[in-house]
Amino acid sequence: MSRSSQPLDNARSPKRSRRNDFETGSGSTLRILRLVNIGRILCRQRRSAGPIPRSPASPGRQSPVRYEVQINLSTRNIVYVGSWPSPNGREEANEGVYYEVHDCDGHTLCPGLVDIQINGAYGIDFSNPSCDFADLRTTCVRLARERGVTSILPTVVSSPPEVYARLLRWRKPAIEEGYNGAKLLGWHFEGPFMSPKYKGAHDASCMLDPTVENVKKIYFSNDVKNDHDSTRIPLVLVTMAPELPGAMDAITHLTKDQNVVVSLGHTDASYEVCHTATKSGASLLTHTFNAMAPFHHRKPGPVGLVVDGTMPRCSVICDGHHVSDVTIKMLRAVRPGGIILVSDGMAASGSEDGEYVLGDVRVTVKDGKATVTGTGTLAGSCATLDQCVGLYRIITGCTWEEAWEAGSLRPAEAVNVDDVGIVEVGKRGDVALWEGVGDNGVYDKDTSKMKVICCWVGGREVN
């Protein structure tokens, strides 16, 4: 691909210049993806880092400020975030460095979205025993290419023990080899340790008390060690009801011994019990307000932890069905920097109305709303995370930066992942170019104007 030493004029989107010796790797193997002519970058660096230096417009010319991001295709990390044309000589060709140049035509570049609660999409249910490597790969590619979601925690509802054992034996190389799509950060096991009273769409026959013995038996049978450095897909997040027998010891075991984040959800626990659970290691609420004891002025329940700051982070499903607009606004007023957007997407996400399954539970989708067949019980969401981000911005009136951070940086931080969710030097080159994002292009709860133009995972374009 070509080395560009001059600014690109009259750009079209997307526009790339290619060079054969970049592909063949002749000479030096240093390869750089240069994303140039970017109109705006969301979540581009820590607030304490200060603004990106801007290159001044030419004398007598009112030209818009443009930016550039460079990604090392060997390390797959971002190596430069700054103005374009670059004021420090980066436009000049360097001997032995081969560039792939992508003209972003003034569109907005965003970090890849991070969905830490997604049960499936595009007709695939991750909890279904028939779900295999090919299904997971296909879903991950489409999430990145069509929705800008570049990292996920595939989420499994309350299931028989053999389902968890099978999934924890899956290995990343077997799934990721030969494709480029959303990366698997690890599993989110949403069950089976939850209250039957707030089971939602889960199968109550699978539910158990979370004793340490049961946790080891269900999650870590056959000497499966939750080694985050191994080739296995690790268990990263568990949703649990803290009022159940054995829960406090189980939370301590998971967080201290297994390096697993514990989130409180599907629970009838009081505020006091939830407060004790945070001392045992719980650090998150799962889909706040849904499937938990309601907030009451004398019995605040789990939501009380968000109000008083004991629980600094809480996830919420902002899909227009699970939580009212007023409640979304209230939550942001109370904890603006702690909201984590999740899709809670199920197999119908990205698909049409019809009949689906969530684990072993039949689900009916009508007018984009998923319910347990024959009931009014919500059964996950049909939204994708980008839609939740756009809707959150519309409902709250917050900035694009704040909304995007709630769907990228904050969920990554909540599960102790520090190399994604932000456009910053040293972070992974997981980014997407968007139309209808970064301006006032979304109105009246219509997120259809938000469109992915191109997505890169580790600097490699998702096709």
Number of alpha carbons in the 13 Å side-chain half-sphere of residue 383: 27
Report the percent of the chain where pLDDT is more than 90. 67
How many domains would you assign to the chain?
Answer: 1
Q: CATH number, domain at 164?
A: 3.20.20.140
The predicted pLDDT at position 86 comes to 62
The predicted pLDDT at position 58 comes to 45
Residue 84 belongs to a domain: no
- For residues 143 and 157, give the distance between their C-alpha atoms in angstroms, rounded to a whole number: 20
pTM here is: 0.90
Q: Which helix (H) or strand (E) holds 414?
A: helix 409-414
**Residue numbers of the domain that contains 358:** 111-422
CA neighbor of 277 nearest in space, from 201, 159, 193 = 193
The predicted pLDDT at position 460 comes to 95
The tens digit of pLDDT for each residue in 296-332 reads 999 999 999 999 999 999 999 999 999 999 999 999 9
- For residues 100 and 32, give the distance between their C-alpha atoms in angstroms, rounded to a whole number: 6
Number of alpha carbons in the 13 Å side-chain half-sphere of residue 266: 26
pLDDT beyond 90 at 447: no
The tens digit of pLDDT for each residue in 181-200 reads 999 999 999 999 999 999 99
Q: If you compute the radius of gyration of the chain from its CA atoms, what whole number of angstroms results?
A: 23
Residue 344 belongs to a domain: yes
The predicted pLDDT at position 345 comes to 94
User: Residue 408 phi/psi, 5° resolution?
Assistant: -135, -75
Mean pLDDT value of segment 7-25 = 40
Question: Hey, which residues are catalytic here?
Answer: 344
User: What's the mean pLDDT when you consider all of the chain?
Assistant: 87
Residue 177 belongs to a domain: yes
CA neighbor of 254 nearest in space, from 240, 243, 244, 266 = 240
pLDDT beyond 90 at 378: no
* β-bridge pairing 108-111 and 97-103: unpaired
Residue 52 belongs to a domain: no
337 against 54, higher pLDDT: 337
pLDDT beyond 50 at 19: no
The predicted pLDDT at position 399 comes to 93
Confidence band for 367, pLDDT divided at 50, 70 and 90:
confident
The tens digit of pLDDT for each residue in 134-169 reads 899 999 999 999 999 999 999 999 999 999 988 988
| Structure letter (DSSP) for residue 5 | -
**Helices and strands per DSSP (H, E), number in the chain:** 12, 24
Query: In sequence order, what are the residues at sequence separation of 6 or more whose Cβ sits closer than 8 angstroms to the Cβ of residue 30?
Result: 72, 74, 96, 97, 98
Mean pLDDT value of segment 336-359 = 91
Residue 48 belongs to a domain: no
The predicted pLDDT at position 444 comes to 61
The predicted pLDDT at position 433 comes to 98
Residue 2 belongs to a domain: no
What are the angstrom distances between the C-alpha of 29 and each of 72, 89, 163, 301?
Answer: 11, 21, 43, 57
Residue 143 belongs to a domain: yes
Residue 218 belongs to a domain: yes
Query: In sequence order, what are the residues at sequence separation of 6 or more whose Cβ sits closer than 8 angstroms to the Cβ of residue 368?
Result: 321, 353, 382, 383
pLDDT beyond 80 at 85: no
* β-bridge pairing 120-121 and 113-118: unpaired
Strand partners, 358: 361
The alpha carbon dihedral of 402, 406, 408, 412 has a sign of positive
Q: Tokens 């209230």 appear where?
A: 330
